[in-house]
Amino acid sequence: MSSVTQQPFRTAVLVLVWGWLLFLVLTPNLLVVGASVMTRDPGSFLSLPLNLDAYRQLMNPLYLDVFLHSLYMAAMTTLICLLIGYPFAWALTKVGKQRQMLLIFLLIVPFWTNSLVRTYALKLLLATNGLLNNALMSLGIIEEPLRMLYTEGAVIVGLVYLLLPFMILPLYAVFDDLREDLLRASHDLGAGRLATFVHVIVPLTLPGVLAGVMLVLLPAMGLFFVPDILGGSRNLLVGNVIKNQFLDARNWPFGAAASIVLTLAMAFLMFAHRLSKRRIGEDGV
Amino acid sequence: MSRWLPRTYLTLVYVLLYVPIIVLVVFSFNDSRSGYEWGGLSLRWYEALFNNRAMVQAMWNSLWLALSAATVSTMIGALTALALHRYRFRGKKLLNGMLFIVMMSPEIVLAISLLALFLLVGLKLGYVSLLLAHVTFCLPFVVITVMARLSGFDERLPEAARDLGASDFTMTRTVLIPVIMPALVAGWLLGFTLSLDDVVVSTFVSGPSYEILPLRIYSMVRVGLKPEVNALGTLLLVFSLFMLILSQWILLRSRR
């Protein structure tokens, strides 16, 4: 029934779609895997002897430090986003439905605005003679301007600022699904507020937490322009290392290996997310 | 729980989210050269912006790129969604998987993989490489938007069209396309904005022959403060706000 002559349109659609995805998604990803096990070559980027040098190089203390520091900043970003976002998503479900739509809209406005420009706006606030310092000094809270820009804290603030909506939206989705009767049942069965929170609310919102963590943690390791603008040279992300290795040092195997480690981290988080969904009996997509 | 506690908390977070943006907008009208002191109202940074030839060129380049990337990704994305929705074919899971990978993998991973591909096939970095890359990362968003629209759709309509003798192509054109139109418009607007804002992927796959706005902003803001960026940022903000409201309005209206 589905022969080529009978359904030329179907065939054309499938060829186009497959062609695009195979050429621009599958092939490039395989190339990166291939590049990560090849040898660095100054002329043609890569040469043949296959080896795991690039992965070994990742274990080099110099890079390991950068990686761990980046992981630390990403983890702090995720934690802060979670601490702000969890009660935020909960509070969102407490206001009227009409107002909720408006508030969600206000939350995605930043998602549609240029992230570079928003990072730059933070720079206006955090600079040594910037607005925040001026405000604090004129209020008499501090005597001397604080050095806020080009610090680890500035990078974390920048990442939180850019990524917070990505934590809130999946959390809002699970809180919105949270059924009031379950909470009442927990209360009727004699559970206090804390017990209800620990045994009912936390497990039911866990998939949202993990989705949020996934959407924040990984970008928080890759957004290289945030340290470039706010962090100075000592607070680098994995993204900065990958970018430098590819565009400046021309060490492709190393850059590729670093990006594969990021991808594996993503796969691991996605796996955890699926498990958590299955546990509460909602089959993951 | 009392009602003012959640409200106060929400307000506080929104204030924190919007203060930097408001500061940016206000300071774009600042007459003073220093980015920190108020020197009176002025449009001088907007003027400086439009007198900067390279900047205006980058703006046009970006607009053209976003326009073409959004259009191509909407066309391919719509066809992909239709194929996933209507056809049964081998490797459907793989196709879904690839779209999922594009959407979930960190941008920088996508960026280096595309750079590797372009250099391997000897494609000169410029407009074409940017277009291919932008279409690729916009694609899954269009597919999702269109799929969502198709999921609540009466399956008997396309069947009826087929029974009445319409070819697959005619049926798609006269039955399916009108149904998914609002999703196409919304997907197009989202693609346009994503393309206009992208820094990470563009950093890797653009060449000196085709300079685009985000990369120009990037090179400006890395060192020091540039008041022109305030003006440019404000313009971009107004523009994206307009696009967002437009797309929400179209989606809401189509639901009625």
CB count, 10 Å around CB of A189? 9
Across A228-249, b (16+ Cβ under 10 Å) vs e yields bbbbeeebbbbbbbbbbbbeee
Q: Tell me the chain B residues in contact with residue A131 when contact means C-beta distances shorter than 8 Å.
A: 23, 36
What is the rounded distance in angstroms from the CA atom of residue B185 to the CA atom of residue B145? 10
B32 close to A (CB below 8 A): no
Mean pLDDT of chain A: 83
For an interface test with B, the pick among A10, A15, A100, A116 (most B C-beta atoms closer than 10 Å) comes out as A116
- The dihedral region occupied by A61, where left means phi > 0, alpha psi between -120 and 50, and beta the remainder, is alpha
> Which residues does B208 contact at the CB level (< 8 Å), separation at least 6?
none
Q: What are the C-alpha distances in Å from A24 to residues A129, A138, B136?
A: 46, 55, 7
Please indicate whether, in this complex, the C-beta atoms of A109 and B241 are within 8 angstroms of each other.
yes
Q: What are the extents of the domains in chain B?
A: 1-41, 52-255
CB count, 10 Å around CB of A6? 11
Q: Tell me the chain A residues in contact with residue B95 when contact means C-beta distances shorter than 8 Å.
A: 17-18, 21
Alpha helices in chain B (DSSP H): 4-27, 44-51, 53-86, 92-104, 107-120, 127-151, 156-163, 168-171, 177-197, 200-205, 213-221, 227-255
Reported as a pLDDT band with limits 50, 70 and 90, residue A1 is: very low
What is the rounded distance in angstroms from the CA atom of residue A77 to the CA atom of residue A161? 9
The stretch A238-264 carries a mean pLDDT of: 86
What is the rounded distance in angstroms from the CA atom of residue A158 to the CA atom of residue A111? 14
What does the pLDDT read at residue A5?
A: 45
The tens-digit pLDDT sequence of chain B (256 residues) is 567 888 899 999 999 889 999 988 988 888 877 666 777 788 888 888 888 888 899 999 999 999 999 999 999 999 999 888 888 888 888 888 888 888 878 888 899 999 999 988 989 999 999 999 999 999 998 998 888 888 777 778 888 888 888 887 888 888 888 888 888 888 898 899 889 888 899 999 998 889 999 888 888 887 777 788 889 989 988 888 888 888 888 877 776 5
What does the pLDDT read at residue B44?
A: 84
What's the length of chain A? 285
Task: Among B87, B116, B135, select the one facing A31 at the smallest CB separation.
Answer: B116
> Which residues does A138 contact at the CB level (< 8 Å), separation at least 6?
none
Closest CA to B234 of B25, B52, B63: B25
Q: Pick the more confident residue, B211 or A113.
A: B211
What does the pLDDT read at residue A3?
A: 41
CB-based contact B52:B228 (threshold 8 Å): yes
What is the rounded distance in angstroms from the CA atom of residue B220 to the CA atom of residue A136? 28
State pLDDT tens for residues A102-111.
888 888 887 7
CB-based contact B185:B78 (threshold 8 Å): no
Please indicate whether, in this complex, the C-beta atoms of A256 and B112 are within 8 angstroms of each other.
yes
A239 close to B (CB below 8 A): yes
The nearest alpha carbon in chain B to A211 belongs to: B104
What does the pLDDT read at residue A108?
A: 82
CB-based contact A163:A146 (threshold 8 Å): no
Secondary structure (3-state) at B46: helix
3-state helix vs strand vs coil in chain A, percent to 5: 75, 0, 25
State pLDDT tens for residues B110-167.
999 999 999 889 899 999 999 999 999 999 989 988 888 887 777 788 888 888 888 8
Please indicate whether, in this complex, the C-beta atoms of A18 and B95 are within 8 angstroms of each other.
yes
User: Considering only residues 211 to 240 of chain B, which have any Cβ-Cβ distance to chain A shorter than 8 Å?
Assistant: 214, 217-218, 221-222, 225, 229-230, 232-233, 236-237, 240
What is the rounded distance in angstroms from the CA atom of residue A105 to the CA atom of residue A115? 17
A128 close to B (CB below 8 A): no
State pLDDT tens for residues A4-51.
445 778 888 889 989 999 999 889 999 998 888 887 776 666 677 777
Residue A216 in this model has a pLDDT that exceeds 80? yes
A108 close to B (CB below 8 A): yes
CB-based contact B138:B70 (threshold 8 Å): yes
Q: What are the extents of the domains in chain A?
A: 60-284
* Cross-strand pairs, A40: A46
Residue A283 in this model has a pLDDT that exceeds 50? no
What does the pLDDT read at residue B255?
A: 67
Q: Does domain A60-284 have CATH number 1.10.3720.10?
A: yes
**Is residue A134 packed enough to be buried (19+ CB in 10 Å), middle (13-18) or exposed (0-12)?**
middle
The interface predicted TM-score of the complex, written ipTM, equals 0.83
What does the pLDDT read at residue A206?
A: 87
What does the pLDDT read at residue B136?
A: 94
Instruction: Domain B52-255: give its CATH code.
Output: 1.10.3720.10
Closest CA to B138 of B217, B89, B202, B86: B202
What does the pLDDT read at residue B256?
A: 59
DSSP secondary structure letter of residue B152: T
In terms of average pLDDT, the best of A137-146, A167-176, B154-163, B173-182 is A167-176
The stretch A274-278 carries a mean pLDDT of: 76
* Cross-strand pairs, A46: A40
CB-based contact A36:A257 (threshold 8 Å): yes
What does the pLDDT read at residue A194?
A: 80
**Is residue A74 packed enough to be buried (19+ CB in 10 Å), middle (13-18) or exposed (0-12)?**
buried
